[in-house]
């Protein structure tokens, strides 16, 4: 029996990898040789956050070690490109065929489908991706682009099919959705839990040294403490179950200067790498609910994020690719302001959120959506510039998750395919959900004038500018109705101040 090769991509670090299983079934473990490629060209595609690079490369190296411990022969190749790494491997080992699992990203999958066989010169078996539940069950198999799919109904179908938080045909607790119980602002005296920390071992330290020496990318590596193995990622999940899940639901949308992660799970970096799988997290929180350790609004809220939003976003990505990259339904053309790269702005909320993104590569969902994307949508920032900034700055960022979240949900640039309404809000929302406004030089109550918060005049300017389009959207009716309180003089003042502010932003973004 000849050698069988398995190429495992860096974000496919699954304990039970289908390509490994298929190769082993064909020729026995002793004939399997696994390849992991660290491509320099891919690393430099964006100025990625250094913490993300260390997380990715350290997790890949630990995964290679874990496979060796399980008896597999593994090559970890660092090369200029994937093509060079694959050719080097095939030349060295002369395998007779190659197994690989479909990439979750469009470019990677297109490479596997159209170029890989030619590059390796042997038969390639491309197996379906198993990292998403929607790969096992598609709630809308005959979907056509002329019909919009609403996340809520997608999510209910997923709950029914996978029998998650269900009592027969009815949802556990009686309701499908506890959204209204997920919007409490944070009490001043509440204790905020620390996240688990994982000290770098020698493998991680070597990667930290390499990434620091390369000098590429954004952000800081100080105090790197992320999980880099499946065991550590499972420990991080366990910590979430014990210390954060009970309050996750109530304070899911809250924002504070005092703490970065609140009661969020911070599991997206590990899920997106394959160190954790969605169903094991869903089952973990279901067990916590059954044991009476967490209330329904927290458990349903978390399940909604994983089985609802995450799966829906991946599904939307594959529905909308590659066209989504060209979408710009609000005709937004302004360059990304320079302060996105250094956090130097008087807007206290944006300052804090960007500063945290730069130092840690993490913001929670509402900060990404209602602070950063809200600002970019109101200010008319060019969608792909925003997308690329997000792609560079977050430790959990991948093409499949970024495009529908940024262009779809955050900027509504896809014409409302991902989200039925643009998520826009004035300073009132940011003040209601957090404490950023307290320490800000702008006044969150003033609509215009020297001290007015820019979120206010930009918000009202956006409504004025797009009144007709917004009026046609039933979910935004009440917002547009607010325009009747603005007389001509106030409309002129809002427009004038918004224009002045936007003109002041137009400085080029560093490359």
Ligand X SMILES: Cc1cc2nc3c(=O)[nH]c(=O)nc-3n(C[C@H](O)[C@H](O)[C@H](O)COP(=O)(O)OP(=O)(O)OC[C@H]3O[C@@H](n4cnc5c(N)ncnc54)[C@H](O)[C@@H]3O)c2cc1C
State the residues that interact with ligand X by CB under 6 A.
264-268, 271-272, 305-306, 309-310, 313, 364-365, 368-369, 373, 390, 394, 396-397, 401-402, 405-406, 409-410
Q: Which is nearer to ligand X, 61 or 264 (CB)?
A: 264
Structure tokens at 16: 């039970």
Q: CB 232 → ligand X: shortest distance, Å?
A: 15
Question: How would you write 104-162 as a 3-class SS string?
Answer: CCHHHHHHHHHCHHHHHCCCEEEECCCCCHHHCCCCCCCCCCCCCCCHHHHHHHHHHHH
CB of 157 to ligand X, least distance (A): 17
Q: How far is the CB of 148 from ligand X (least distance, A)?
A: 17
Nearer Cβ to ligand X, position 57 or 389? 389
What is the β-pairing status of strands 32-39 and 166-167? unpaired
C-beta closer to ligand X: residue 19 or 373: 373
Q: Are strands 170-171 and 166-167 parallel, antiparallel or unpaired?
A: antiparallel
Min dist. Cβ of residue 393 to ligand X (A): 9
Token readout for 177 is 């959705």
C-alpha–C-alpha distance, residues 465 and 467, integer Å: 6
Cβ-based nearer residue to ligand X, 64 or 377? 377
**Closest CB 129 distance from ligand X, rounded Å:** 16
Nearer to ligand X, 272 or 497 (CB): 272
**Taking the complex as a whole, how short is the minimal distance between the CB of residue 101 and ligand X, in angstroms?**
19
- Closest contact distance (angstroms) between CB of 409 and ligand X is 5
| 240 or 442: CB nearest ligand X | 240
Task: Return d(Cα 278, Cα 314) in angstroms, integer.
Answer: 13
Q: How far apart (Å, rounded) are the C-alpha atoms in residues 403 and 92? A: 38
d(CA 163, CA 157): 10
- 418 or 497, CB closer to ligand X? 418
**221 vs 402, beta carbon nearer ligand X:** 402
CB of 416 to ligand X, least distance (A): 15
Q: Which residues pair with 36 in a beta bridge?
A: 76
Query: 471 is written with which tokens?
Result: 């009026």
Nearest approach, Cβ of residue 266 and ligand X (Å): 4
Paired strand residues for 166:
171
CA dist., res. 337 & res. 104, Å (int): 31
Six-digit token pair at 365? 């969902």
DSSP per-residue letters across 67-114: HHHTT-EEEEEEESSHHHHHHHHHHHH--SEEEEEPPSSHHHHHHHHH
State which residue, 203 or 397, has the beta carbon closest to ligand X.
Answer: 397
Distance CA 151, CA 148 (A): 10
Please give the Cα distance from 383 to 329 (Å, whole number).
10
- Count the residues in the chain: 511
């Amino acid at each position: 029996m000849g050698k069988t090769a398995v190429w495992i991509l860096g974000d496919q670090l699954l304990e039970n990898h289908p390509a490994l299983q298929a190769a082993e079934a064909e020729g026995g473990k002793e004939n399997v040789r696994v390849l992991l490629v660290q491509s320099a060209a891919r690393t430099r595609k964006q100025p990625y956050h250094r913490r993300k690079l260390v997380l990715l490369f350290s997790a890949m190296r630990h995964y290679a070690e874990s496979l060796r411990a399980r008896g597999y022969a593994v090559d970890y190749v660092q090369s200029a490109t994937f093509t060079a790494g694959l050719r080097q491997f095939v030349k060295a080992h002369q395998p007779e065929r190659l197994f690989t699992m479909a990439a979750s990203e469009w470019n990677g999958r297109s490479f596997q489908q159209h170029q890989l066989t030619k590059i390796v010169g042997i038969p390639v078996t491309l197996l379906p991706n198993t990292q998403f539940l929607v790969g096992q069950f598609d709630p809308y198999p005959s979907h056509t682009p002329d019909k919009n799919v609403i996340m809520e109904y997608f999510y209910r179908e997923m709950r029914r099919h996978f029998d998650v938080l269900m009592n027969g045909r009815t949802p556990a607790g009686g309701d499908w959705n506890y959204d209204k119980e997920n919007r409490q602002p944070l009490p001043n005296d509440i204790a905020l839990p620390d996240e688990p920390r994982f000290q770098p071992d020698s493998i991680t330290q070597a990667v930290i040294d390499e990434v620091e020496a390369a000098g590429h990318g954004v952000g800081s590596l100080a105090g790197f403490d992320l999980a880099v193995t499946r065991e550590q990622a499972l420990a991080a999940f366990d910590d979430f179950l014990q210390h954060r899940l009970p309050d996750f639901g109530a304070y899911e949308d809250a924002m504070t200067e005092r703490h970065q992660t609140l009661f969020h799970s911070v599991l997206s970096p590990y899920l997106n790498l394959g160190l954790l799988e969605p169903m094991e997290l869903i089952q973990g929180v279901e067990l916590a609910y059954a044991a009476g350790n967490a209330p329904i609004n927290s458990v349903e809220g978390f399940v909604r994020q994983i089985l609802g939003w995450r799966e829906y976003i991946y599904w939307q990505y594959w529905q909308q690719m590659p066209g989504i990259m060209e979408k710009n339904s609000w005709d937004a053309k302004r360059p990304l302001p320079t302060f996105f790269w250094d956090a130097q702005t008087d807007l206290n909320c944006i300052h804090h959120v960007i500063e945290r993104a730069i130092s840690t590569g993490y913001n929670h969902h509402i900060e990404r959506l209602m602070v950063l994307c809200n600002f970019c949508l109101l200010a008319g920032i060019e969608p792909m510039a925003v997308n690329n900034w997000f792609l560079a700055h977050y430790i959990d960022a991948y093409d499949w998750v970024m495009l529908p979240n940024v262009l779809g949900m955050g900027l509504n640039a896809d014409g409302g395919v991902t989200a039925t309404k643009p998520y826009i809000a004035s300073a009132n929302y940011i003040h209601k959900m957090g404490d950023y406004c307290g320490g800000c030089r702008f006044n969150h109550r003033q609509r215009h004038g020297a001290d007015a918060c820019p979120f206010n005049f930009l918000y009202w300017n956006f409504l004025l500018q797009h009144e007709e389009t917004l009026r046609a959207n039933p979910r935004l009716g009440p917002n547009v109705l607010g325009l009747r309180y603005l007389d001509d003089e106030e409309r002129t003042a809002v427009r004038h101040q918004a224009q002045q502010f936007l003109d002041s932003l137009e400085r080029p973004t560093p490359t």
